[in-house]
Amino acid sequence: MRYVRLFPILAAIACSAPKEAPPLPPSKVVEWAAIAGAPTPGPDNTVRVALELQATIDPGWHVYSLGQSTGGPAPMSVKVSPPYSIDGEIVGPAPVKAKDPNFGIETETYSGEQIFKIPLKLAASASLSPPPIELKVRSQSCSDRLCLPARTTTLTVQPEKGTT
């Protein structure tokens, strides 16, 4: 008879959710934003546009650097759509280098708020009204216990009015 009384209690305990269930990650742990400066004349009948890309990364999370080596997490990458092209090196803050518990290798990461400067080039035929810039940023976000799949964010930004 004792077992009959304990059965409902044991069944309730077995069906209840564990107390230490890991929290679900937010859908967006990284917010990307961009601002483009005014177009300026460049050599060879081209137009230059300075672009700033800003990452705002939630506390406890990070993304991997542009220079992250292969064989582990997905490195950050930036691409622009024609008629623009990246004209030189993307300049950003120095990444933090440390052994990553998720991958067991040394990684390069960014956390918090970071700004990257991206030099762009546009054919001179764009004249005084350059078209909007379409920017694709790919990154992988991880915490110290969980990694989200790499994701591509598309941003569209209009350059400031200029005198080309």
Residues 1-53 pLDDT 10s = 444 454 444 444 444 444 443 444 556 899 999 999 999 888 778 889 999 99
pLDDT of residue 128 exceeding 70, the answer is no
As a whole-number percent, the residues of the chain with pLDDT over 70 amount to 79
Q: Which of 70, 79, 55, 131 is nearest to 103 (CA)?
A: 70
Look at residue 45 in the predicted model and tell me its pLDDT.
Answer: 80
**Sign of torsion, CA 80 82 83 88?**
positive
What φ, ψ does residue 83 adopt, rounded to 5°?
A: -90, 10
Look at residue 161 in the predicted model and tell me its pLDDT.
Answer: 79
List the domains of the chain with CATH numbers.
23-157 (2.60.40.1250)
Look at residue 101 in the predicted model and tell me its pLDDT.
Answer: 83
* CA 136/CA 155 separation, integer angstroms: 6
Query: Mean of the pLDDT values across residues 52-72?
Result: 95
Look at residue 163 in the predicted model and tell me its pLDDT.
Answer: 54
Cis amide leading into 83 (omega within 30): yes
Look at residue 124 in the predicted model and tell me its pLDDT.
Answer: 65
pTM reported for the whole predicted model: 0.79
pLDDT of residue 132 exceeding 80, the answer is yes
Query: Mean of the pLDDT values across residues 117-126?
Result: 82
Contact 135, 55 (CB under 8 A): no
Look at residue 20 in the predicted model and tell me its pLDDT.
Answer: 43
